[in-house]
Amino acid sequence: MLIYFESPTYDHRFKGGLMLESHTFFSKMVDELVEFSEYDPELADGIKWLDDQAQKKGITFYDMVFEVLYKHDVNSKAKKWLSTRN
């Protein structure tokens, strides 16, 4: 199974070296996950689901992956913070 995704358009707001470097690292990481999904059916299903969701929202696949990871990070930190409030 091969899945191809259109590369996101370069955003000129990311001219700073660190931001561009982070963007490149993230894109490569996602690309490697997509490539590895050829050997992992569960990962392939998750990637297909993410791609479907991205298309429904009208955003890139990369943006959808970032959104999911960001929400997970925020929720994890919120749970940790709530557990320390007692």
Q: Residue 66 belongs to what domain range?
A: 34-86
Q: Does residue 11 fall inside a structural domain?
A: no
Residue 54 and residue 63 in contact, taking contact as beta carbons nearer than 8 Å: yes
Q: Does residue 13 fall inside a structural domain?
A: no
Confidence band of 2 (pLDDT split at 50, 70, 90): very low
Mean pLDDT, residues 14-40 taken together: 79
What does the pLDDT read at residue 73? 86
Q: Does residue 26 fall inside a structural domain?
A: no
Q: Does residue 51 fall inside a structural domain?
A: yes
Structure tokens at 40: 């992992």
Answer whether residue 19 shows pLDDT above 90. no
Q: Does residue 22 fall inside a structural domain?
A: no
Task: Please report which residue ranges of the chain form alpha helices under DSSP H.
Answer: 17-36, 41-57, 61-84
Residue 26 and residue 62 in contact, taking contact as beta carbons nearer than 8 Å: yes
The count of structural domains within the chain is: 1
Over the stretch 29-85, which tens digit does the pLDDT of each residue have?
999 999 999 999 999 999 999 999 999 999 999 999 999 988 988 888 888 888 888
Residue 53 to residue 63: CA distance in whole angstroms: 11
Q: Does residue 45 fall inside a structural domain?
A: yes
What does the pLDDT read at residue 23? 72
Q: Report how far Cα 33 is from the mean position of its chain's Cα atoms.
A: 10
Q: Does residue 4 fall inside a structural domain?
A: no
Answer whether residue 10 shows pLDDT above 90. no
